[in-house]
Amino acid sequence: MEDKSIIIKKVKKVQGGGHHGGSWKVAFADFMTGMMAFFLLMWLVNMTTTPQKEELAKYFQEYSLFAEGGAGGTTQMISTEQAQPAAQITITQTPPASGETEGEASPAGLEQLKNKLEQEIEQRLADLKDQVRIEVVEGGIKVDIMDKEGNPMFPLGSTTLTESGKKILKVLCDNIKSTSSRVEIEGHTDAVSYANREFGNWELSTARASAARVEVEKNGIPSSRLRRVSGYAATEPIIKENPFDPRNRRISLRLYPEKPSKTPTPAQPQSQPQQSPPAQVSPKSVPQVHPAPMQ
């Protein structure tokens, strides 16, 4: 018998791991998917118009996963024969009575306030009425207190009100403080320049508006009703063809009545809604489950 030689074979096992494995492919695929979604989103944002973006934003603000869902709990199967139509309630809104206005902020209210101020100036400021101009502007009333040759509201280059200026502001404030109007005060100058470059028309108009603010508060209008105090130098002249006209030097009061908050009238239903009976669960529709017998 021949002796058979024993052959020993060593098999080298290669362990898959690190860069030799496939786990990196999963991470790379996730990365590429995310990048594709990102660039797709960027493309969509660039392609949509502004109105479309507003519609999309509105949709997601009002979107709800449960908008069409029912109450929580067990699922019930309801026969279509048992479904009742939804009750309908007719709501009638009572229109405002004849002659009723929305208050001082309405056009009729602004015109009424304007007429009231004009009457007060006519009666109490007969000698100064040509220096006051009142007009209805968008949302409010504008009152211009203008200089006149020989009778200025402020001495030339000064920020101290004259007696005429104080008198006009007092009459105006006596009528304004009984209203709900918010007040803006503006200072304006003519186009005459000053040698003092550190204190020009901008500083002068602003300082005069602030001096008028102090006088307005003295006459009973609290600072909480003041919306703005500003100076415009000679940028908004009344007499545009002559920027040096003394009437361009003025203090302007802008009155903005607050709109009253509307209290909704409770709706009165014309008919009582019919209450639908509670949904009945059909026993035939629910499957019966029986445990298997024990062997």
What is the residue type of 198? Answer: E
Domain ranges in the chain are: 127-257
Could you tell me if 208 and 251 are in contact, meaning their C-beta atoms sit under 8 angstroms apart? yes
CATH number of 127-257: 3.30.1330.60
CA distances from 6 to 1, 9, 11, 198, 281 (A): 15, 10, 16, 112, 81
Give the model's pLDDT for residue 103: 58
Would you say the pTM of this structure is higher than 0.85?
A: no
Angle CA(214)–CA(219)–CA(220) in degrees, nearest 5?
105
Give the model's pLDDT for residue 90: 44
Give the model's pLDDT for residue 63: 55
Q: The sheet that has 226-231: what strands, in order across it?
A: 132-137, 140-146, 250-257, 181-188, 226-231
**Residue ranges in the chain whose pLDDT is less than 70:** 1-3, 11-21, 62-105, 195, 260-295
Give the model's pLDDT for residue 20: 59
